Amino acid sequence: MNTNPAETQVISVPDGSIRDYVDGKVRKDTPEEYVRQTINGNRYTHNALI
């Protein structure tokens, strides 16, 4: 786990999309994708930084 703030990478994901935890691709947030991510146990949720 990377705990060095100088090396932390922030990734912005558009609304209505999620980032696949396994391959890092941005995918459309659909019910099917939600199930796929949940089955993998890696549902990724992104919040906008204001």
| DSSP annotation of 35 | H
On whether residue 2 sits in a domain, the answer given is no
Tokens at 1, concatenated:
């786990």
Residue type at 37? Q
Any idea which residue has 């691709």 for tokens?
25
What's the confidence (pLDDT) of residue 50?
41
On whether residue 7 sits in a domain, the answer given is no
Residue numbers of the domain that contains 39: 13-50
On whether residue 3 sits in a domain, the answer given is no
Number of domains in the chain: 1
Residue type at 2? N
- CA 49 vs. chain centroid, Å, equals 14
Q: Per-residue pLDDT for the chain (50 aa), expressed as one digit of tens each?
A: 556 667 888 888 999 998 887 788 999 999 998 888 887 764 545 444 44
